[in-house]
Amino acid sequence: MVEPFPFVDVSGTPYERGRQHGAAVPKRVKRSIELYGGQLGDLGYDAAAKSRLIGEFAREIEAFGAHYIEEMRGIADGAGVALEDVIMINARTEVIAKAKLEKSKPVGAEEELDDGCTGAIILPERSATGELIHGQNWDWKAECAETAIVLRVRRDDGPDFLTFVEAGGLARCGMNAAGISITANYLESERDFTQVGVPLALIRRKVLEQEHFAFAIKAVATTPKACSNNMMLSTVAGFGIDFECAPDAAFPLYPEDGLIVHANHWVGQVALTKITDTGIPRVPESFYRDWRVRKLLNEAGRALTVDDLKAAFFDDFLTPHSVCRPPRLNDTGNLSATVSMVIMQPAKGTMEVAPLPALNRVFTRYSLTDEPVTLAQAAE
């Protein structure tokens, strides 16, 4: 049996929300810290050097939004861990890259792939119900099945939201009560880590705090980043857009025939005239993962359902280097897998999540308003 991801429901001030989060899943927060914190020690950082490095990112985050640091402080107090370790969880990609650069170690091919994913948006004109569907397979460390949670944040200062996230994190993919959804995929370019930027997790969180879709776009398209990333945005009103982001630029991709599908390689022709895709050695299968999902959705017909999207994301073509990845050793010797399949229906306010979907077809339905419900096993 693969256990469902724990559901954590928080409310109150940013600090109170964080404290409830940390107290609800302290073991998972500590496991997140173990996964990422040890890398700094391996790079030769003692306690003082680690505090200095993470302090730089704390200042960047506080300038972006002081309430984020307050929520992280609450998580730390609730879980009984250090604040700097929670900041590390929320800026892990950027912190490790900066540490490598400080130690004159290359940030590149030997580094473990961060957040390989395949995402899709089905617009209302291609949906059997006339309602938008937004989903993603998240490929990362198989151990993250032991760290991830589904977090519901009830806010007094904006829309409530649901996010699938590693314990201790403020956001990953998710949707809010204003009908705005976001997923994100790893991208890489030669511009990465040449400038200071806001950690990606905080940009995703900023999106989920917005009442209006225009300001969600602003958060993605205009916030300076330290590294490349692909972010897929949608609104319950019936529109979706993909932004292939370099640290200092964002290149939009629009729906084609009612669909957006993206994996882990750059596809925009404008972007490809300006940047170099340096991630291909790590994700060569990306070139057929997005093709497979688009092909399977088109073969399913004009009126697509949640089950059609799940079937496309369960695809095992050329396994284990497939859309749905079973646990396997990657090039760095670590166990990698599709950690979760996430399917969001913003009109219904629901998110269906299956842990380790290559091994498990049981989804739990999480809601902006109701308690979680275990669903029947998805068909083979």
Position 108 scores a pLDDT of 52
Distances in Å between the Cα of 88 and the Cα atoms of 34, 224, 299, 325 are 11, 19, 43, 27
Residue type, 158: G
SS3 content of the chain, % helix, strand, coil (to 5): 35, 25, 40
Cα atoms found within 13 Å of the Cα of residue 357, Cβ hemisphere only: 30
Segment 264-322, tens digit of pLDDT: 999 999 999 999 999 999 899 999 999 999 999 999 999 999 999 999 999 999 999 99
Segment 317-350, tens digit of pLDDT: 999 999 999 998 877 777 899 999 999 999 999 9
Distances in Å between the Cα of 226 and the Cα atoms of 2, 10, 76, 268, 270 are 35, 30, 25, 20, 21
Segment 171-226, tens digit of pLDDT: 999 999 999 999 999 999 999 999 989 999 999 999 999 999 999 999 999 999 99
The CA distance from 251 to 213, in Å, is 17
Place of tokens 């692909």: 230
pLDDT-derived band of residue 115, with 50, 70 and 90 as boundaries?
A: low
Instruction: State percent of the chain over pLDDT 70.
Output: 97
168 dihedral zone (left: phi>0; alpha: psi -120 to 50; beta): left
Segment 136-148, tens digit of pLDDT: 999 999 999 999 9
